[in-house]
């Protein structure tokens, strides 16, 4: 039984002058899950996040927060955490003072905010930097401070817009570990990011947007099915293939030549693979077959390439 939703987006629309930024978007974020909002620049993600945070209002549709009992409620500052894509911290104020200030804005006492801030600074390898001003920190370390300010008060829902921005691979993995821990402790996470490999490891469910609309939605497995392909077979050949190899493949199978001695088969989940493998071994001079699940990165690229992209808000 899935957890009840904490956030319900229903038929939301948003216009900016001549730009239709969000077009009838609907989805639910369930309590205790990690929900990823994906799409190219201009897909409408940031417009949607700003509406969720109450920075702007939808032109049509509704955005509703719900309690565990299913009752709608108006979130208060302690309920939400927000890491914006554009940094919004005071660069000439020391790190610890900044974090305590934001903790107090969200209902923490000065003592609790100070203790939590020092704990998180230690966890993120910033112990000893408490009295450094933000503008003396590297881009990655500034991102860490922005992240701490969003989760310091343990909100019910944390909205993280590009949380991995400016981080090296080691710190990306540290953030990934921390986000998982926060979720395991009961926090709901809604995040938007461009690092597909990290999202594939993190997200329970995913929405892919393009041109203000949802084009794919669900678990990674469900998204693979919606995209039409879930498996990929790379065939390495000893001799060049013929001009028309493997004619009459079953419906749903797609053959893509890569080079004269390499081709790729894309297959849906419901297609029996054994007959296709048998044909490959009979008709092709095979050296090796490599089979794998389609990655989120490839699904993302294929879906948006097929549909086309354009820049919007």
- Do 215 and 243 belong to one domain? no
- Do 218 and 145 belong to one domain? yes
- Do 236 and 210 belong to one domain? no
Whether 312 is covered by a domain: the verdict is: no
- Do 282 and 140 belong to one domain? no
Domains contained in the chain, number:
2
- 281 φ, ψ to 5°? -70, -30
CA diameter of the chain: 74
CATH of the domain at 243: 3.30.70
Whether 307 is covered by a domain: the verdict is: no
CATH of the domain at 31: 3.40.50.300
- 164 φ, ψ to 5°? -90, 0
278-305 pLDDT, tens digit each: 888 888 888 999 888 889 999 999 888 8
**DSSP per residue, 192-255:** E-S-HHHHHHH-SEEEEEETTEEEEEESHHHHHHHHT--EEEEEEESSPPPSS-STTPPTT-EE
- Do 59 and 206 belong to one domain? yes
79-120 pLDDT, tens digit each: 999 999 887 788 899 999 999 999 999 999 999 999 999 999
Q: Is the pTM of this model over 0.85?
A: yes
- Do 220 and 236 belong to one domain? no
Whether 80 is covered by a domain: the verdict is: yes
For tokens 């930097």, the residue is 129
Calculate the average pLDDT of the chain: 92
Whether 99 is covered by a domain: the verdict is: yes
- Do 216 and 263 belong to one domain? no
Confidence of residue 312 (pLDDT cuts 50, 70, 90): very low
- Do 12 and 53 belong to one domain? yes
Coil, strand or helix: which one is 123? helix
**DSSP per residue, 31-50:** TT-EEEEE--TTSSHHHHHH
Note the helical H segments in the chain. Answer: 45-52, 95-105, 110-123, 139-151, 169-184, 196-202, 220-227, 274-283, 296-307
Whether 311 is covered by a domain: the verdict is: no
Q: Could you say which of 224, 249, 266 is where a domain stops?
A: 224
Q: Could you say which of 204, 224, 244 is where a domain stops?
A: 224
Q: What is the C-alpha separation between 271 and 153, in angstroms, rounded?
A: 49
Q: Could you say which of 183, 203, 224 is where a domain stops?
A: 224
- Do 144 and 268 belong to one domain? no
265: domain range?
Answer: 231-293
Coil, strand or helix: which one is 59? coil
Whether 16 is covered by a domain: the verdict is: yes
Whether 302 is covered by a domain: the verdict is: no
- Do 198 and 131 belong to one domain? yes
pLDDT reading at 248 higher than 50: yes
Confidence of residue 309 (pLDDT cuts 50, 70, 90): low
Comparing 2 with 154, the larger pLDDT belongs to 154
- Do 126 and 193 belong to one domain? yes
- Do 220 and 254 belong to one domain? no
207-244 pLDDT, tens digit each: 999 999 999 999 999 999 898 888 888 999 998 877 66
Whether 154 is covered by a domain: the verdict is: yes
């Amino acid at each position: 039984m899935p957890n009840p939703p904490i956030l319900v987006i229903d038929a939301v629309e948003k216009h900016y002058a001549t730009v239709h930024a969000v077009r009838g978007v609907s989805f639910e974020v369930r309590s205790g899950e990690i929900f990823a909002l994906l799409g190219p620049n201009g897909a409408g993600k940031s417009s949607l996040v700003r509406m969720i945070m109450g920075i702007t209002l939808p032109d049509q549709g509704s955005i509703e927060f719900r309690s565990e009992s299913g009752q709608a409620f108006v979130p208060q500052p302690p309920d939400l955490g927000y890491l914006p894509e554009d940094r919004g911290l005071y660069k000439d104020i020391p790190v610890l003072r900044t974090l305590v200030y934001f903790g107090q804005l969200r209902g923490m006492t000065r003592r609790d905010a100070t203790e939590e801030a020092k704990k998180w600074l230690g966890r993120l390898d910033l112990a000893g930097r408490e009295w450094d001003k933000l503008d003396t920190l590297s881009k990655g370390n500034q991102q860490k401070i922005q992240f701490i300010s969003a989760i310091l008060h343990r909100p019910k829902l944390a909205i993280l817009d590009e949380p991995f921005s400016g981080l090296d691979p080691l710190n990306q993995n540290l953030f990934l570990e921390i986000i998982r821990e926060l979720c395991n402790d009961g926090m709901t996470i809604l995040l938007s990011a461009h690092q597909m490999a990290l999202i594939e490891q993190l997200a329970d469910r995913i929405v892919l947007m393009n041109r203000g609309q949802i084009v794919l939605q669900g678990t990674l497995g469900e998204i693979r099915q919606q995209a039409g392909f879930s498996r990929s077979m790379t065939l390495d050949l000893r001799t060049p293939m013929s001009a028309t190899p493997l004619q009459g493949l079953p419906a749903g199978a797609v053959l893509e030549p890569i080079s004269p001695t390499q081709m790729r088969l894309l297959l849906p989940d419901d297609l029996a693979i054994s007959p296709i493998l048998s044909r490959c071994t009979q008709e092709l001079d095979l050296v090796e077959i490599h089979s794998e699940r389609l990655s989120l990165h490839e699904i993302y690229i294929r879906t948006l390439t097929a549909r086309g992209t354009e820049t919007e808000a």
